[in-house]
Amino acid sequence: MANMVKSFRELTPELQPLAGGKGGMLARMHQAGYPVPEGFVVLPPAFQGEELNPEAWHQIQGYLNDMRKKHKGSLFAVRSSALSEDSDQASFAGEFETVLNAKTDEEIQEAIHTVFRSRESERVRAYSSVQGMEQSHEIAVVVQLMVQSEISGVLFTADPITGSFVSMIGNYVHGLGEQLVSGEANAYDFKLTRPKGKYEGPAEFEKYATKLYQYAAKLEKELGKPQDIEWAVADGKLYLLQSRPITTLSAGNLDTYEINYSLMGDELWTNTNVAEAIPDVYPPFSWSIARLLDDAMNFIPGYYVFSGNICGRPYMNISRRVSVITSLLGKNAKGALRLISDLYGELPEGMGMPLHPFSRLEVIKVMFPRIMRMVKSSLKASKNLSRFLKCTPNWCIGIRERIEKAKTKEELLSLWKEKLQPYFLEGLTADKEWCRF
């Protein structure tokens, strides 16, 4: 029973799924050097029925004593970290119990039990039912140093209502963040405008705004999707308390094939041109292959998608293409669109173009080298195309035979990862030896 309690520092990537959404993310941020208050995670194996394993409680006491030595008079926050919590489709923020300002071992032990038992509460059952999830949740518990915050707030790296990426939207209250979540106190609003994070809001928070913008932009890029970030200021220092996906900006549910990429942000999509090549609905398997190829050709890392699936049909993201051109060449949206109008047509009179505020430096440093590598690889691939097509029929016969001989799903998955998937990508990169099976 070694994996019962782990500090944020000790929680390896293999163990992070056991720590739930909140615990795994806090560990990841802590290890990456973000200003996350020290803490540890009580993993699900630490519980026997409804009670803590005695060995787990002994480990917990060791962590608590170590933290108390380093932080005199320390208080602790005890929060849930359900394994189903804070996914792309659902956020259980506020559904499970939270206990703040716990001090003694007895208070912390009782707090851990309170949080753990809240997985069976009526409100968790109701929310789980609405989300189509199992009502019984496997849960971890986070124990973390309390930040006695003078200011507590949230920051959305995209507008959670309109989906616009032009500004990061935030608000805060004085004191603990629970007042903000519960609505007990009136919040102060602010925004950070891309691409440099220009601050608009109350003067008292301006000195922390640049650092918050830098952390948020870095997290968003690393995690590959817009983030809902909890933060606090205490003793003049900015802390990050949590980061989760913005659930309102989701492409949909891949398992049920209820997909709509237009919900991911305020952007213009079109099926001009692509509808001629693919006039019918994409079956899920075909879409997964198309998504794989599109990801390989995407010259912007992360969630900056250029093509998508809207109700089963392929669409192209015009806003992202035009945004790159306007950032790089300094043209307005209409001027940029004219450069690619042969492919996608022109905007109807009076219609606006939502743009993503890429900086010119970002385009040059990050995207331009990728574009050049893609062009080079495409030229190389085109030279090998006839050879590729010539040997592909025999390659397909060999792979089909191996698929038919596979006895388990693990063998099929191995075939996909080792042979099929690389072969799809070879047609784009032309960097490997052709037609091996």
**Both 113 and 201 in a single domain?**
no
In a domain, 103, yes or no: yes
Sort residue 49 into left (φ over 0), alpha (ψ -120 to 50) or beta.
left
Q: How many domains does the chain have?
A: 4
- Residue 305 — very low, low, confident or very high, per pLDDT cuts 50/70/90? confident
In sequence order, the β-bridge partners of residue 268 are none
Residue 127: per-residue pLDDT = 42
139 shares its domain with 12: yes
- One domain, residues 217 and 278: no
Is there a domain that residue 355 lies in? yes
Please check the confidence at residue 124 and state whether its pLDDT lies above 60: no
Is 391 a domain residue?
yes
Residue type, 242: Q
Cα 93 to Cα 85: distance, rounded to the nearest angstrom? 8
User: What DSSP state is assigned to residue 137?
Assistant: P
Same domain, 240 and 115: no
Across the chain, mean pLDDT equals: 84
Q: 268 and 186 share a domain?
A: no
User: What is the rounded distance in angstroms from the CA atom of residue 43 to the CA atom of residue 66?
Assistant: 19
Question: Is 92 a domain residue?
Answer: yes
* Element spanning 321, H or E: helix 318-329
> CB of 353 within 8 A of CB of 333?
yes
Residue 379 lies in a domain: no
Sorted by sequence, the CB contacts under 8 Å of residue 40 that are 6+ apart come out as: 5, 6, 7, 8, 60, 63, 142, 143, 144
DSSP letter, residue 356? -
Show which of 97, 117, 145 is a domain's final residue.
Answer: 145
Q: Identify whether residues 185 and 140 lie together within a single domain.
A: no
> 3-class SS at 414?
helix
Inside any domain, residue 44: yes
Domain boundary among 374, 405, 426: 374
Q: Is this model's pTM higher than 0.95 or not?
A: no
CA distance 153 to 174: 9
Judgement on whether residues 171 and 214 belong to the same structural domain of the protein: yes
Average of per-residue pLDDT across 84-112 = 76
97 or 87, which is more confident? 97
Same domain membership, residue 305 and residue 201: no
339 in a domain, yes or no?
yes
Same domain, 315 and 359: yes
Residue where a domain stops, chosen among 351, 374, 397: 374
Residues 100 and 115 in one domain: yes
pLDDT in tens, 198-253: 999 999 999 999 999 999 999 998 998 899 999 999 999 999 999 999 988 888 88
CB 367 within 8 A of CB 300: yes
Domain that holds residue 407: 384-437
Q: For 137-174, what is each residue's pLDDT tens digit? A: 688 999 999 998 999 999 999 999 999 999 999 999 99
Q: Which has the minimum average pLDDT: 117-126, 167-176, 354-363, 412-421?
A: 117-126
125, 162: one domain: no
Q: Do 161 and 134 sit in the same domain of this protein?
A: no
- CB neighbourhood size of 280 (10 A): 9
Residue 172 inside a domain? The answer is yes
Q: Residue 198 is part of a domain; what is its CATH number?
A: 3.30.470.20
Q: pLDDT class for 184, splitting at 50, 70, 90?
A: low
